[in-house]
A = this chain, B = another copy of it.
Amino acid sequence: MSRRTVFFVSDQTGVTAETLGHSLMTQFEGLEFRQLTLPFVSTLDKAREAVRRIDRAAQEEGLRPIIFSTLVQDELRDVVMTANGLFLDLFSAFVGPLERELNTRSTHRAGRAHGIADLAAYTTRINATNFALANDDGTGGDYAHADVVLVGVSRVGKTPTCVYMALQYGVFAANYPLTEEDLEAARLPVRLEPFRGKLYGLTIRPERLQQIRYERRPDSRYASRAQVQYELRAGDALFRRYSIPTLDTSESSIEEIASRIMNSTGIERRLPL
């Protein structure tokens, strides 16, 4: 089967075009795509270069590429539209209906999506990220300033979730790894006690955790079936005992875990949308 190229073209990072475009392409199973992002297409020269790359792909593959564009400026879009491909304009498709609904003309100005964050938002993001790093894996322990404290056994997804919550929502997320001592004692460590209302438990299916740990340390006790089952059983019992809300991360991406925590706890995002 011939492979088709998909281009994501943006005057910014291209992440929006990538995300929506990828979500659309996964609806077509059994087809093979090569995905290329052309970010920062913000001048006529770069727009023409994008056209050359798209046309070359069309020629080499004998199939015209698919182009997901979030270009905002008419003059850049007009250039890229001349490329030999199916041009899908994620932006303009909705500007018309919005202009009619809001009875207002849009500015068509570039660089608004991920533009210059105002200083307060930028600082919040840096502070939240630094907080996540300083209070990762049981270190730091500044739970008084945390919005949420993720609790769970090793490799259940705590660290990436905390960091993602900092970057995406500006939320101050700490995490604490349940130790063997905690699990044996079947109690939370004393220093977490005052912050029980902020705790959020992560759990996972034993087979999945075994896979993840095996990738890290094959043939170790750490990755053994017995150890993994013991830790998860003891951890889940601890969550029940203290009535800690819990999420099973087995089927979830980091984005989903973070979003579900935000949604179920009602923690407010500290970053503007």
A184 to B147, CA, bound (A): 40
Tier of interface size on chain A: 35 or more
Q: Which of A83-126 contact B (CB under 8 A)?
A: 86, 88, 90-91, 93-95, 97-98, 101-102, 104, 106-109, 112-117, 119, 122-123, 125-126
- A133 interfacial by beta-carbon distance below 8 Å: yes
- A44 interfacial by beta-carbon distance below 8 Å: no
Smallest beta-carbon distance A53→chain B, Å: 13
Cβ–Cβ contact B31 & A102, under 8 A = yes
- Given contacts A98-B28, A259-B40, whether A116 and B251 have CB atoms under 8 Å apart is yes
A18 to B20, CA, bound (A): 11
Residue of B nearest to A25 (CB): B98
- Given contacts A15-B168, A98-B66, A167-B163, whether A23 and B255 have CB atoms under 8 Å apart is no
Cβ–Cβ contact B160 & A26, under 8 A = no
Residue of B nearest to A18 (CB): B273
Q: Mark A23-62, 1 if CB is under 8 A from B, else 0.
A: 1111111110001010110000000000000000000000
> How many chain copies?
2
Residue of B nearest to A251 (CB): B116
- A212 interfacial by beta-carbon distance below 8 Å: yes
Smallest beta-carbon distance A10→chain B, Å: 9
- Given contacts A70-B20, A108-B27, whether A116 and B39 have CB atoms under 8 Å apart is no
Q: Mark A232-269, 1 if CB is under 8 A from B, else 0.
A: 00000000000000000001111110111001000000
Cβ–Cβ contact A113 & B26, under 8 A = yes
- A172 interfacial by beta-carbon distance below 8 Å: no
Smallest beta-carbon distance A208→chain B, Å: 8
List residues of chain A with CB under 8 Å of any chain B CB.
4, 12-16, 18-20, 22-31, 35, 37, 39-40, 66, 70, 72, 86, 88, 90-91, 93-95, 97-98, 101-102, 104, 106-109, 112-117, 119, 122-123, 125-126, 129-130, 133, 136, 155, 157, 159-160, 163-164, 166-168, 211-212, 215-216, 251-256, 258-260, 263, 273
